[in-house]
Structure 1
């Protein structure tokens, strides 16, 4: 396959060399994983195992992945918790900052010399000795390019993992560059059932999901600040606990697509006074807004964590908008 990142060959070669020189690799995906995190982690692990490198996948939280990710090959073998092997390389995938590694942040920070960071978030500060941070549609897109430098021969399971990250992080191919279609065409050629993958990862919701979504969306608030229309959707903790991950992602997509809105915001209450915030916009660079508030992400999609009442964090967000 033709290179997806023709200008970055030397960077990919350097990372491939570190991996090929390793006898053991621990791949770390971010906490509260999505399909790109799990797909890139499990896909990379499968690829490394296929060329004889002992590899396991870790996520630094005590609870398992969302149910909609259960069809991703290899996800059932992920290890959860705060412990990493003392030997070998540690490769983080799709972790925009070290805090996204959760309970594993401390052991990773303790020995950055053995850490390789692979990510597509432009705001990633590069917390490893080796950092492959490339602006891309998904981290799985980077993994596919890396496979070419590693000499990995893909199979259907690897293709499924990489496609899972690609299709979800591009919103079903609604945003990205022509590169995403080039990669999708290759991955589909491995016999993937793309309709079923979409149903499993993004489309399957229960009647309860729909009822909760309706009540959450009905409470949306709209603000006018610095010449921008900002639509804020808050998901209380009790609603979040009862909803599937698919339904939560749908709410975030609604925030992005709302007509007449310049910035879509979803506050997801994790605990009393603690919120995970998702930002979406096609008008401003929300990665800079998120960065100012301690987070990061991409120009059209970013996030951060916030502490306080809903009113407090709304005011902090509005004050951080450009203008």
Structure 2
């Protein structure tokens, strides 16, 4: 893995700190949880008092608890005082959830580690690499720079982020395979990790997915074709978020569609929208709608009725038109 020009500055901040809070994004995925867990263990190895946090009260999907250290992450609306904050896998300060105001006020003592193309860099030191497949890819190199000894549990967290953010190694640079090989040498049971994070499901989840998938639609959006799934509040309330979040990978592959969208109504009238495409810059589309992400994988929040939310997306795609075209998209 290549070194980042800001590694030294970030390492100096870590060296000077005694207490460090590690913060991941709202509605965390495996890259966020793996990044937090690996970083917290690494910092404790360096003699720091470190703790992981997510800025929401609701806990993570159960399958993420298979990542070592995940169960110790605190989900809260209040971020305690610390000498240093390390924000991982957050494409913007808004993604830190209930901690946003606190992090803005403590910018001078914040390090941002991220790989999202839309990240403006909101820390004192920003370890941002938009070519990295996952945030754990950047951390792998930085922890080595810090002199951290990679343990099996640290390797597990780093591998979890790499595995999931590359769609089980379906996209990314040749370097991702080198990183996977090096992490596997720490005795990882990659079959079990994949089973926990990707494959494991329940009969109830399968029925839920089937119910939502049966309502898939396609729409014209200017020069493009859009595949849409809507997971309305009445259908998904009280069910597994992991199953709902996995729907976007199915929509991505719909034949004849230029891009896919899943509207997830976790709160009545509020849709978390995930976008995917191998042809278009959905990152630009998400930014236009107040969100962010990567070129081929992004998201934003929409409010209103199901029809209003869909109309807003289609209108934005029409407005941006041919500017969404990508000659080459490599997913992260």
1:58 maps onto 2:49 in alignment: no
2:329 aligns with: none
TM-score, reference length from structure 2: 0.93
Aligned counterparts of 2:245 and 2:55: Cα–Cα separation in 1 = 21
Q: Note the alpha carbon deviations across 1:43-81, whole angstroms, 9 max, x for none.
A: 011111111111111111112111011111111111121
- Residue 164 of structure 2 is aligned with which of 168, 191, 206? 168
Give the structure 2 partner of residue 14 of structure 1: 9
Going from structure 1 to structure 2, the CA distance change for 1:280 and 1:123 (only over 3 Å counts) comes to same
Deviation at 1:242, TM superposition (A): 4.2
CA-based RMSD of the aligned residues comes to 1.2
Query: How far apart, in 2, do the equivalents of 1:59 and 1:307 lie?
Result: 23
Partner of 1:286: 282
Whether the 8 Å CA contact 1:20–1:150 is kept in 2: the answer is: no
Distance between the aligned counterparts of 1:233 and 1:294, measured in 2? 20
Other-structure match for 2:231: 235
- Checking the alignment, whether the CA contact within 8 Å between 2:54 and 2:96 is kept in structure 1 is yes
1:27 aligns with 2:7: no
Which structure 2 residues correspond to residues 307-322 of structure 1 after superposition, within 5 A?
307-321=303-317, 322=320
Q: Distance in 2 between matches of 1:171 and 1:73?
A: 21
In structure 1, what is the equivalent of residue 294 of structure 2? 298
> In the alignment, is the contact (CA less than 8 A) between 1:40 and 1:165 conserved in 2?
yes
Aligned position for 1:83: 78
- Separation in 2, partners of 1:37, 1:156: 18
8 Å CA contact retained: 2:22, 2:53: yes
* Over 4 Å off, 4+ runs: none
The more displaced of 202-211 and 242-251 is 242-251
Residues in 1 aligned to 2:235 and 2:39: alpha-carbon distance in whole angstroms: 34
Deviations 1:260-286 (A, max 9, x none): 111100000021210000000011100
Residue 154 of structure 1: aligned partner: 150
Contact kept? 1:275, 1:307, Cα under 8 Å: yes
Structure 1 unaligned blocks of 5 or more: none
What TM-score, normalized by structure 1, do the two folds share? Answer: 0.96
Counterpart secondary structure, 2:116: coil
Whether the aligned pair in 1 keeps the contact of 2:21 and 2:82 (CA below 8 Å) is no
Q: For residue 315 of structure 1, give the secondary structure of its aligned residue in structure 2.
A: helix
- Distance in 1 (CA, whole Å) between partners of 2:266 and 2:244 is 13
Question: Aligned partners of 2:207, 2:82: CA distance in 1, in Å?
Answer: 48
Q: Is the 8 A contact 1:25 1:56 kept in 2?
A: yes
